[in-house]
Homo-oligomer: A and B are copies of this chain.
Amino acid sequence: MAQTATRFSLQRDRMLRAAAHCFNEKGYSGSSLKDVADILGLTDAALYYYVKNKQELVYLCYIRAAELGRDAMDRAEADGNTGLEQVNLYLRYHIEYMVGEEGPIAIMSEIPSLKPEHREEVLALSRAHSSRFEAMLERGIADGSIGACDVRMTGNSIMGSVNWIPKWYHSDTGVGPRVIEEFPRILSGGLQPGLS
């Protein structure tokens, strides 16, 4: 999965996680390169050794986010049998990435402000991800593990919920890593009583 980890690629990866942290916290504009550099104990200028400019930094964060999302999806499809199982596994794996060692993962909230080529590329990845998720839902409907629903909207709804996690999850505040267990249940189980 990871191409031979050189000093360079490792440091760059740390950088992407630091950037994701800042962007999730204070937004793209709100985060200066100095904010990111501070986390790494570097000077802002040093970041330019790893990326061409700030634009590219967000872009790379988004690519990284897309890759991890895809990875979670791949694993879920491999490991789950029914559509519902796959959905639950996907959620679990993706959330594990978000709140675990690999995290934080950047929220793709500013795709429109990327430059055209980058925007198109990220959008394509993002759409592909949504499509795969919708396909999972359809699979579940077909095999009877999921009730009939508008997969487009259900997908949007669940993905939105997932995307927002970094906004309220901070390992420090009481919530802790039980998200990993709870979250898939909440989303796929709904609020109905008597089903737990």
Contact = CB atoms under 8 A, between A and B. Distances in A.
A30 B160 CA distance: 21
Interface string A3-42: 0000000000000000000000111111000000000000
A30 B30 CA distance: 11
Interface stretch (A60-68, A97-105, A186-194): A186-194
Copies of this chain, how many?
2
Q: Could you tell me the dominant secondary structure of chain A's interface residues?
A: helix
A167 B194 CA distance: 34
A192 B157 CA distance: 15
A80 interface: no
Contacts of A140: 191
A153 B167 contact: no
